[in-house]
């Protein structure tokens, strides 16, 4: 067993040893966990109105919490050997506190709801790969919130926690985030994919047809340089595209009402083709990706329910081509990995996942194909100079309390 996995599974003992709780005077210790996640389709969609095919994964963060006799808040990252501290009166975001800020966010939420919080000890440990686009920071927040909810015997329903965490991100961390990762963390089910509607906050569970297949996540190790600025520009492009398309439809009287609260869901690919002269080419391509990706997510849902692997393969590979050619968030290394996977008999599909410009691909393949897939990675390192990391994942359950007391 790896040291990281050992610390995660034995987090109760690690917590007691860190805070010297062996005499039981400060027990009980509540332990909760929250999973990482992977998006298979849809993550580069319309802001605030995306449609996602995703799942939680069998890698998680655990948070242990217990009550102190004083008013201090103590934080210990067992994997890093790092310690942070503050008090409830001085509870605020500090850049140097890094991972501890995500636990402090959960404290901020329950304190703001009026729950009696004094001194608390926290320990965090997990096995979600870092900087790989697997929502590890969200998992810390969710695990901390679930642990605090159990410790405080809070009546706040789990279905309300995603909205509370989104508000907390704005109030405490000063940033606007999507609720999608929180919806995945609280609604995930083992061996199920999730269809997540960001617009309605709805989540539908679809049974995975891949029980005899493997899902491999491959971290290309390509450093993301300037990705945030590039993504910001693309979001601006698609907003302009939506505005221009909406004006065009208003002009042709195809849009009902005053045209407010419009979404790319109101348009079809033919609308983009008809607008080739009206939209700047780059904006048209970005917008076309959004419209077609919405369609691909709904088609993938149907294919999963039918167990139609050939259709799933077509949808996923076309999605990657769209990310490469229309939205332009891929890179040569990622494209090479997807193309090599596509050439191997026994591979169902492969695609980039995450913010792009490097990062990860996922590949769904027959178990007998894994050896050949991994062999191809030797060529990748020789050609590009990056040593890839491969993780086997599977759709997993959502956040839960592991133990109380």
From CA 351, how far away is CA 345, in angstroms rounded? 16
Q: Which of 171, 181, 274, 335 is catalytic?
A: 181
The DSSP line for 324-380 is HHTS----HHHHHHHHHHHTSTTEEEEEEESSSSSSEEEEEEEGGGHHHHHHHHHHH
Indicate the DSSP class of residue 173: I
**Does 219 qualify as catalytic in the annotation?**
no
> Is beta strand 51-67 parallel, antiparallel or unpaired with respect to 120-126?
antiparallel
The DSSP line for 61-76 is EEEEEEE-SSSEEEEE
Nearest residue to 88 via CA among 100, 98, 74:
74
CB 239 within 8 A of CB 21: no
From CA 400, how far away is CA 309, in angstroms rounded? 32
CB 132 within 8 A of CB 107: no
The DSSP line for 234-273 is HHHHHHHHHHHHHHHHHHTT-S-TT--S--GGG--HHHHH
Q: Which residues are catalytic?
A: 181
């Amino acid at each position: 067993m790896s040291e990281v996995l050992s610390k995660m599974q034995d987090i109760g003992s690690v917590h007691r040893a860190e805070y010297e709780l062996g005499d039981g005077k400060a027990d009980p210790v509540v332990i909760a966990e929250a999973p990482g996640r992977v998006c298979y389709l849809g993550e580069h969609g319309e802001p605030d109105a995306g449609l996602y095919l995703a799942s939680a994964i069998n890698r998680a963060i655990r948070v242990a919490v217990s009550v102190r006799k004083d008013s201090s808040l103590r934080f210990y990252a067992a994997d890093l050997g790092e310690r942070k501290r503050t008090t409830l009166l001085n509870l605020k975001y500090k850049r140097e506190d890094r991972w501890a800020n995500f636990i402090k966010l959960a404290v901020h939420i329950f304190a703001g709801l009026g729950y009696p919080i004094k001194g608390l000890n926290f320990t965090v440990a997990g096995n979600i790969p870092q900087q790989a686009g697997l929502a590890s920071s969200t998992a810390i927040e969710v695990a901390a919130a679930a642990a605090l909810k159990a410790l405080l015997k809070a009546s706040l329903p789990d279905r309300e926690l995603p909205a509370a965490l989104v508000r907390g991100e704005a109030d405490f961390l000063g940033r606007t985030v999507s609720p999608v990762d929180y919806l995945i963390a609280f609604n995930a089910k083992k061996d199920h994919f999730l269809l997540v509607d960001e617009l309605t906050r709805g989540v539908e569970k679809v049974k995975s047809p891949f029980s005899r297949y493997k899902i491999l996540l491959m971290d290309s190790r390509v450093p993301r340089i300037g990705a945030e600025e590039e993504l910001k520009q693309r979001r601006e492009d698609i907003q302009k595209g939506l505005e221009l398309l909406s004006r065009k439809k208003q002009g042709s009287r195809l849009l009902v009402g005053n045209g407010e609260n419009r979404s790319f869901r109101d348009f079809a690919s033919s609308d983009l083709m008809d607008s080739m002269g009206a939209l700047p080419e780059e904006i048209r391509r970005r917008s076309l990706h959004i419209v077609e990706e919405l369609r691909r997510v709904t088609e993938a849902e149907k294919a999963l329910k039918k167990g139609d692997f050939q259709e799933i393969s077509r949808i996923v590979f076309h999605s990657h081509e769209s990310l490469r050619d229309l939205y332009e968030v891929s890179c040569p290394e990622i494209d090479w990995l997807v193309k090599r996977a596509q050439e191997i008999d026994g591979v169902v599909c492969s695609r980039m996942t995450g913010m792009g410009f490097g990062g990860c691909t996922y590949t769904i393949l027959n178990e007998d194909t894994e050896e050949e897939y991994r062999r191809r990675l030797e060529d990748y390192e020789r050609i590009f100079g990056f040593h890839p990391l491969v993780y086997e994942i599977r759709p997993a359950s959502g956040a839960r309390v592991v133990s109380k007391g």
